[in-house]
Structure 1
């Protein structure tokens, strides 16, 4: 089995675990990514905004006979989804969810709307226009503090806390296209979800975020939290239902209005999802984000017993995969920095 990972950056632990089951080809726009030292072969590629980006990946897939292409950087996802069939023609499976799911995940207001429309508990959120109207007409209705972040933000970049009206008025203009969320106090969890190529859930592993540095977890522990697992199962099934309904709509539109059809056999939820939630003191579970990729702390789920590399091999070999939801060890991860000398 040959796997191509893009934007490998510092994803050393991810590579080490998957490498146990196949050959890892790494690609990155930079030549000084630490993970380069751990892949079997490396290719420098253009940035995902470059016109030659897709062609460069297609060339690698053809040359290396890649079985599975796993992108690790959100900015790549839309472009890759739009070219899924080109990779399929080369015998390469793109391990990335449906483009409608990408649009839900990559825009935090779309994520919020999805939560609300599907009765999934989430912090109350506002657009900049919503907040400006409230500040103008009914400022006493605002219940501080608030969390402000870019609609298309990644990690902790550009995330700010507004404790009062002055800070709110500043940050709503400082951040380009912000989403403003009520601040929810509680225990933060990241949930690692893995789905097969048919969209069936293989595993769900909640990880408590004990300590975070620069948006990535540095101390974490797996927790077999039955209610979080149950709520996550419901969320993912709602995602699948939403996308299936969207696909039906697209088929009707394609027939009646001559719009482009969907790619053939495009599944809804494929591969990894990283979902974030907060559990309040009242035991309420409030979901915050969905990301259609590996989280930075996913090696903890590997170590807890979810062998992603094995399941990737099963997908490539079209073998049956039995779900192991809730079947993992409760362990703690403490991360530290390492260096590579060249």
Structure 2
């Protein structure tokens, strides 16, 4: 049922140039169940999400943390923002910090993301892997030592092949490097802040997870990553299997997740390997919405104290999403 226009809520989606933000903005604008006014922010005036929202703002760099937090507070207070949906890992770590969060929420806006300690446990890949190991969740073979200086090489004792090198903190797979033979292994030069794992070549899944404000699991939508470019899903298919849903529920409980998160895992030889857990929306969230479960909208409703109905948590299986380029023309 559509609510009266006097109940319109203002939602700020940050880092509007990234894939997850664009997807969230599009889905919140597309829905007709609930009256929302979508604001967005980004450092780049040509960021596509800015021009999909109702109103946008140019933000300062996150490197200037104090200024960035002050900017967010002022933006939210002046425009009477109700909810903030951060889109990038680095942004989540800044905004969810208890001190920063307390400043921003004095504006009257509510920050919709996991608590700071939970966010760190997810975003820091070494921490998330160790948390899985401690709880008997299968992970790829992982070299325990973080690279502490540039120019290091892969340890001779490592006999995995292929090997994947990735940053401890990072998203989108842009900096990942795959080593496929002994020659590449000898030539590989590792940089500070990176680590390496056994590369698991199998069927890749992303699982969108929805939990309530008390970290109670509500739903999981597994989707096969049929085609991935730069770490983002271009083609995907809903795979509604009890095994994947149960797996996601277990991970959600172990990490005490709230709101929306996306889990990545790989299936090989009938085993599921934990790859990473993002305490935020994934770029492929549009497939979840298309299948019937509008997680961005339910996220906002729950923040208002409105629990999802059983029907709102249902979705269609085997739906395929395929993406294409779409242009926006602006004067900047």
Higher helix fraction: Structure 1 or Structure 2? 1
Residue among 216, 238, 254 paired with 1:222: 238
2:42 is the alignment partner of 1:28: yes
In structure 1, the partner of 2:6 is: none
Distance in 2 of aligned mates of 1:217 and 1:185: 17
CA RMSD of aligned residues (A): 2.2
Is 298-307 or 308-317 further displaced after alignment?
308-317
Q: What TM-score do you get using the length of structure 1 for normalisation?
A: 0.84
Alpha-carbon deviation of 1:202?
Answer: 2.6
Is residue 187–residue 278 contact of structure 1 (8 Å, CA) maintained in 2? Answer: yes
Compared CA separation, residues 12 and 144, structure 1 to 2 (3 A):
closer
Is 84-93 or 308-317 further displaced after alignment?
308-317
Alpha-carbon deviation of 1:146?
Answer: 0.9
In structure 1, the partner of 2:322 is: 334
Question: Which secondary structure state, in structure 1, belongs to the residue aligned with residue 252 of structure 2?
Answer: helix
In structure 2, the partner of 1:54 is: 69
TM-superposition CA deviations, 1:184-224 (whole Å, max 9, x none):
12100001112222222232100100001121111101110
Compared CA separation, residues 125 and 325, structure 1 to 2 (3 A):
farther
Equivalent runs, 1:61-210 vs 2, <5 Å: 61-82=76-97, 83-128=100-145, 134-135=155-156, 139=157, 142-171=159-188, 173-210=189-226
Question: Which secondary structure state, in structure 1, belongs to the residue aligned with residue 170 of structure 2?
Answer: coil
Compared CA separation, residues 128 and 91, structure 1 to 2 (3 A):
same
Compared CA separation, residues 292 and 340, structure 1 to 2 (3 A):
same
The count of aligned residue pairs is 308
Structure 1 stretches lacking a partner, 5+ long: 241-268
Compared CA separation, residues 12 and 293, structure 1 to 2 (3 A):
same
In structure 1, the partner of 2:297 is: 310
Equivalent runs, 1:241-260 vs 2, <5 Å: none
Is residue 24–residue 39 contact of structure 1 (8 Å, CA) maintained in 2? Answer: yes
Compared CA separation, residues 109 and 325, structure 1 to 2 (3 A):
farther
Alpha-carbon deviation of 1:13?
Answer: 3.5
Structure 2 stretches lacking a partner, 5+ long: 1-8
Alpha-carbon deviation of 1:304?
Answer: 0.7
Alpha-carbon deviation of 1:324?
Answer: 7.0
Is residue 41–residue 59 contact of structure 2 (8 Å, CA) maintained in 1? Answer: yes
